[in-house]
């Protein structure tokens, strides 16, 4: 083992359904992106611990119809798999709102990636695996609720054999997220089951051929934190990779819930890393996901950390900037006002799809976001978004700033203050200490929410800053709003044009 220790998660914030492959000493990982575009964030690492986002697999309008068909929160792109075979990188994925399963490929992981080739396979969570003779198999979760497998031509999209049912887990609900591996003389089929909530689990079976018959591991589920008090919960949807030193590792999703029972998570499902051993009978063995663990052996490769502040001086937006459903070129510009990001409104409200929003994932439980903006004669500002029915807005326009809360059917302005014309800075802080007062039924003085969101005119550290409002963070949690995503914090315009000089995201343990 290396002398280095790593902290979980290895990719924080809303980065679920990780899939990983290794090419030489390099690892590549993709995650689900659901309704956000560009789609399928792509990461590179040399040590499985430090990950740098190098792009998005689906990063141009021609690859998928935009806006994404269906245009609903937690729809869109589910559960990609990335593999490297015969000199190409391959990603197979599902667009649940239109088209189904598709394959894209690239000669280099940075792209360009091909246009999608669609597969006539009805299901979700597809996987790719090759035999030594080049035969390609696609395992996926079928519409009847089990794992199916088909022999395909991935480049042409043709189904050559099947699909046929394989193994469907140990009896827990929603067997899904299959990954097929050849290890020694066995084929292993790794799946998720139990649902992606607290009962999430990883199970495994093996066979001498991809066609089966499949033998379930005697210790299934291979991994689950269900019913434990571990700080990481919902562990599942895993993928395996072998390091150059022969050690094996698992990437998987999990959440870090907080607050009063039943606990809620606000960052979404994140990417975790845990070691894998093989027992004497040839079965993988996985310990509970650690908060801290010795890193994989070999060189330690820290990667550049994205700058806290984006001054919008480049020619393109950084790959971590995302938008829900679509981002038409006509709604944003880095050249209309050089050194500023100018957003042009495409819809009058954030309460229904079709608005202009550019944001980044919240990746830390405690953080501060500040932006300098010029609303001009427009209307816009900062928004903490979970979906169209659950978001908080800090908005400038019409000579004032406002804090607006949208919680389910309720939309309410909770604070407002007049401001002079011209640029102004707005700040949102998220903290996990000194929470808003507890609900009345908690007689012991406890708190219910996982965090508090505070909204400021100006920078809280400046003497002229003005606090506007504080709101309970539990209403922007998955357990309240439902769905598969996490918080995204960003900039928006809902009337006219709004220009942003800079945007700063700072993690902090003491905001």
Q: Are 404 and 393 in contact (CB under 8 A)?
A: yes
Length of the chain: 511
Q: Are 126 and 120 in contact (CB under 8 A)?
A: no
Residues 35, 97, 127, 176: which is the catalytic one?
A: 176
Q: How far is residue 11's CA from residue 185's CA, in Å, rounded to a whole number?
A: 33
Among candidates 366, 388, 392, which has minimal Cα distance to 489?
392
Q: CA separation (Å) from 156 to 32, 104, 118, 123, 151?
A: 24, 11, 9, 19, 12
Q: How far is residue 353's CA from residue 340's CA, in Å, rounded to a whole number?
A: 25
Among candidates 301, 256, 252, 253, which has minimal Cα distance to 275?
252
Q: Are 434 and 509 in contact (CB under 8 A)?
A: no
- State the sign of the Cα–Cα–Cα–Cα dihedral 433, 434, 440, 444: positive
Among candidates 389, 419, 376, which has minimal Cα distance to 481?
389
Q: CA separation (Å) from 309 to 305, 370, 371, 416?
A: 11, 9, 9, 27
Among candidates 481, 478, 493, 487, which has minimal Cα distance to 505?
487
Q: Do the strands 497-507 and 309-310 form a parallel or antiparallel pair, or are they unpaired?
A: antiparallel
Which tokens hold the place of 76? 């869109």
Q: Are 139 and 127 in contact (CB under 8 A)?
A: yes
Is 131 designated active site?
A: no
Backbone angles phi, psi at 295, to 5 degrees: -75, 165
Q: How far is residue 88's CA from residue 288's CA, in Å, rounded to a whole number?
A: 34
Q: Quick check: helix, strand or coil at residue 331? A: helix
Among candidates 267, 469, 255, 472, which has minimal Cα distance to 367?
267
Is 176 designated active site?
A: yes
> Which secondary-structure segment (H or E) carries 147?
strand 147-153
Which tokens hold the place of 409? 């059917």
Which tokens hold the place of 150? 């088909």
SS (H, E, C) 49-92: CCCEEEEEEECCHHHCCCCCCCCCCCCCEEEEEEEEECCEEEEE
Which tokens hold the place of 75? 């729809």
Q: Quick check: helix, strand or coil at residue 480? A: helix
Which residue numbers are catalytic?
A: 17, 176
């Amino acid at each position: 083992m290396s002398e280095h220790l790593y902290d979980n998660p290895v990719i924080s914030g809303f980065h679920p359904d990780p899939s990983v492959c290794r090419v030489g000493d390099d690892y590549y990982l993709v995650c689900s992106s659901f309704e956000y575009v560009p789609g399928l964030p792509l990461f590179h690492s040399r040590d499985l611990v430090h990950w740098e986002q190098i792009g998005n697999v689906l990063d141009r309008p021609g690859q998928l119809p935009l806006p994404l068909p269906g245009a609903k929160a937690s729809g869109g792109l589910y559960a990609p798999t990335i593999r490297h075979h015969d000199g190409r990188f391959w990603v197979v994925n599902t667009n649940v709102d239109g088209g189904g399963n598709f394959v894209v490929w690239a000669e280099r992981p940075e792209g360009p990636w091909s246009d999608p080739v669609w597969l006539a396979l009805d299901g979700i969570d597809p996987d790719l695996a090759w035999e030594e003779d080049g035969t390609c198999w696609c395992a996926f979760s079928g519409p009847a609720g089990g794992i199916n497998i088909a022999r395909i031509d991935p480049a042409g999209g043709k189904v050559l054999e099947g699909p046929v049912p394989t193994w469907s887990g140990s009896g827990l609900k929603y067997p899904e997220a299959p990954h097929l591996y050849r290890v020694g003389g066995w084929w292993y089929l790794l799946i998720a089951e139990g649902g992606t909530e607290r009962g999430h689990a990883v199970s495994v079976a093996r066979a001498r051929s991809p066609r089966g018959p499949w033998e379930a591991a005697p210790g299934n589920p291979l991994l689950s934190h269900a019913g434990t008090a571990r700080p990481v919960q919902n562990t599942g949807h895993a993928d395996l990779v072998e390091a150059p030193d022969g050690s094996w590792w698992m990437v998987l999703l999990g959440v870090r819930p907080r607050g009063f029972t039943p606990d809620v998570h606000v960052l979404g499902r994140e990417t975790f890393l845990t070691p894998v051993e093989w027992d004497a009978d040839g079965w993988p063995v996985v310990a509970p996901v650690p908060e801290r663990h010795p890193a994989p052996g070999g060189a330690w490769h820290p990667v550049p950390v994205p700058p806290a502040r984006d001054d919008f001086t480049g020619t393109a937006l950084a790959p971590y900037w995302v938008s829900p459903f679509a981002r038409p070129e006509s709604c944003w510009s880095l050249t209309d006002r050089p050194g500023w990001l100018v957003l042009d409104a495409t819809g009058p409200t954030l309460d229904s799809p079709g608005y202009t929003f550019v944001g980044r994932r919240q990746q830390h439980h405690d953080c501060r976001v500040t932006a300098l903006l010029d609303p001009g004669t427009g209307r816009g500002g900062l928004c903490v978004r979970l979906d169209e029915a659950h978001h908080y807005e800090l908005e400038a326009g019409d000579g004032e700033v406002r804090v607006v809360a949208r919680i389910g059917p309720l939309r309410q302005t909770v604070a407002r203050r007049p401001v002079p014309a011209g640029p102004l800075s707005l700040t949102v802080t998220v903290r996990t200490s000194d929470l808003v007062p507890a609900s009345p039924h908690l007689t012991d003085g406890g708190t219910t929410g996982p965090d508090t969101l505070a909204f400021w005119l100006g920078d809280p550290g400046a003497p002229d800053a003005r606090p506007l409002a504080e709101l309970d963070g539990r209403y922007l949690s998955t357990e309240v709003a439902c769905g598969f995503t996490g918080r995204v914090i960003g900039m928006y315009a809902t009337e006219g044009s709004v220009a942003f000089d800079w945007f700063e995201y700072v993690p902090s343990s003491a905001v």
